[in-house]
Structure 1
């Protein structure tokens, strides 16, 4: 983390964010462009489109160590894009054979394909990290599948669930969002190579063969037609990135609330100085959760930015390229950092099961009102049972009477043993938990578990 006012706090120091910062940084970007130019020369030489003897000098020249990056920056400022000055440098370094560099290509071919190569590298790392996320959450779920906690509706106590059920809800959405990202990335891993306006006219009949072999050389799929102005794949990818960060942030939001002093059911991992206040020494702030939430808020606009890129004029649009690239690459960095922080959060999460149990009884037993209502409805009907339980709830709330006492007065009914009624309500969700865990291989075998705090 630096002290720059534009750096996103805790997020920018995370391993995932830093890894993607290198991929999308100056060196990583230039490397992606050089990879394109080297592969293009090799393919065209093999097909006889350019002289075979030109290939080795061009490949040797596609070396960032041989470039004058300061001169390239100056040239990019003059031209507006880095490709023309980059091609000139490669050509100069390749000597007499340099005239065959970039043959039949256009600037956007290089920049779009380069971005695809960078996105693949960055998101492959994110997807690998998400495998660990899934296993950590599966372990947490399995460890607490019958740990009672208040299920909350509109921030109010609803009915009891298990903490494992809550974790399974997080995991289910994260798994779907991960799969959505994987699918969107697969659809976006497509070569861009069409020349001028995408028609491959410059290669005079060799274009389709070059495009086919270039896609294979870069391990990308070949499109049916050039996509200079068809940005739907990038829109789908941006949406998948934003959805996944939001799925992580939903979990972070729940954890932050459960960390509040009045609730006290969870704590972020402890670390020296982490989450401390500059003026309140007693505080342990949910700073990891905060960073994940800010990442979600910072990326939710990205699909809109990229969607605007679909509104392009004719065969080459104006005023879209840098906006799309900047928004999408920054969003991937935010996602990568959020995943790193999520893994830190979940692997060290402190679960206070005794506090969860105490909070369940905070409303004098009212959390069991729905279960009792459903039992009474079997002989009284649901509407009448609901009316009775509404009066019981009012008596408990206004007088502080225990739920079971008020139930006896209002309904002449008795409350089943709390342990039994609690276990029943938690048990009903176990099949759903099993369905979520079935999408993860043997979560119980994983060694990392959340710690249970002593209240």
Structure 2
């Protein structure tokens, strides 16, 4: 049985840190780090840690064979331990006795999956930072590029593409705290039944055995670049849910960007265009087409992720006793697939945003094609208060009647409004003449707090860029 991502186009971008080989390496690193932690705690000789690390190379193991044999015990740790002990015995027979003692399969499996999460976070965060930098550039460059804001699919008010890009960026910024959690997820420790009995036994009845057992777990977590949680979480699955929800939120945030690109790149709108690449966007039957494939794959991912997050919530809700009977097992593939999709999506988003082409002429033309009706709010706010009631209609009603009548006719609306407001004066003494009405009909003059809103997002981006660590997270493995 082989899964190379044939039905998940683009997901290969997330495979190096999430595929079966990556999971196998994480399992081996977890076992080797446990031996090293025993060295740190004075329970094993230094030579054992060196041998344990040397035996922990995924390339030396048959991952397909391990997958077949995992059926016997219901998890891959059991057959892997047999092979790992055999391999280690060839290097240092004495070191074998330090392997896995005090642990249980769930400690290793959960910790390895958290290690996969941490390793997936590295390219994920890097590519999201690249996408954020590209969006910041677009927001600043296009703060004056007027386009139609659309609500419920219809033109609503004038806006700018710069503000749209800033809004996309803000969506990624809202994930920053969650993404930080992916860099240091917790190790899982507890032993056979979550009591740490096996770890305590390593300290031969010492009065402080409990504290020393926890310290041993701390050494282990530190070796892996993970946190030591304050409790055993065998059946308290919040660490899994937290990682899954972050991956899912990343997929949703990037899907939101993809939806806008897909809409605005339709030929009849033509406001945006994806970056071109050899062989990308081709059609098997229509060679003239250039499909927005990056956005299509981002949307695919955004639609796929929620079901995986839901699966993990169901599994957490069905945890029972001191090790779940099936719900735990159902987590593994769902969490791994979420990580793979999120990493691939971040890579797609970085490429999309860096190469996005913005057609400001089409944006302006599409806005103007809808007519001056999109400025109804502004026209009414300025003119209605200075027009007296007439023929049973308020000043607002009189303005609205003109706007409705000439919603798509700029020249007609200009003439009608000048005639309607003849002799009127604004509160500051400005007469309502053709020049003033012309300004009211200019979309660029009604952009709200466009610059302020963009600047706030960009300032947040600058702070985050300055605060971002320049070195990778500690503990790359055993």
TM-score range, shorter chain: 0.7 to 0.9
Correspondent of 2:189 among 188, 193, 198 = 193
Partner of 2:263: 257
Correspondent of 2:445 among 421, 424, 431 = 424
Correspondent of 2:18 among 11, 19, 24 = 24
Partner of 2:415: 405
The whole-number CA distance in structure 2 between the counterparts of 1:137 and 1:220 is: 31
CA contact (8 A) 2:274 2:356 kept: yes
CA contact (8 A) 1:32 1:115 kept: yes
SS in 1 for 2:147: strand
State the TM-score, normalized to the length of structure 2.
0.83
**Cα displacement string for residues 49-103 of structure 1 (whole angstroms, at most 9, x for unaligned residues):** 3566644444443333443545433421322211122112222233342233111
**Cα displacement string for residues 136-166 of structure 1 (whole angstroms, at most 9, x for unaligned residues):** 0010111110111111121111111111111
Correspondent of 1:105 among 103, 106, 115 = 103
State the number of aligned residues: 434
In the alignment, structure 1 residue 247 sits paired with structure 2 residue 250: no
| Greater Cα offset, 202-211 or 389-398 | 389-398
SS in 2 for 1:300: helix
Question: How far off is 1:379 after superposition?
Answer: 2.3
The whole-number CA distance in structure 2 between the counterparts of 1:387 and 1:419 is: 18
Question: How far off is 1:323 after superposition?
Answer: 2.2
Partner of 1:35: 29
Question: How far off is 1:302 after superposition?
Answer: 2.4
The runs of 5 or more residues in structure 1 that have no matched partner are 444-455
In the alignment, structure 1 residue 131 sits paired with structure 2 residue 137: no
Q: CA RMSD in A?
A: 2.9
The runs of 5 or more residues in structure 2 that have no matched partner are 202-208, 423-431, 465-478
Distance 1:57 1:130, change over 3 A: closer
Partner of 1:166: 164
The whole-number CA distance in structure 2 between the counterparts of 1:351 and 1:128 is: 24
**Cα displacement string for residues 370-390 of structure 1 (whole angstroms, at most 9, x for unaligned residues):** 111110133249994542343
In the alignment, structure 1 residue 285 sits paired with structure 2 residue 291: yes
| Greater Cα offset, 332-341 or 282-291 | 282-291
Distance 1:121 1:409, change over 3 A: same
State the TM-score, normalized to the length of structure 1.
0.87
Distance 1:227 1:248, change over 3 A: same
Partner of 2:179: 182
CA contact (8 A) 1:168 1:433 kept: yes
| Greater Cα offset, 80-89 or 41-50 | 41-50
Question: How far off is 1:290 after superposition?
Answer: 1.3
In the alignment, structure 1 residue 323 sits paired with structure 2 residue 326: no
| Greater Cα offset, 403-412 or 282-291 | 403-412
SS in 1 for 2:446: helix
The whole-number CA distance in structure 2 between the counterparts of 1:281 and 1:64 is: 43
Partner of 1:76: 70
Partner of 1:441: 462
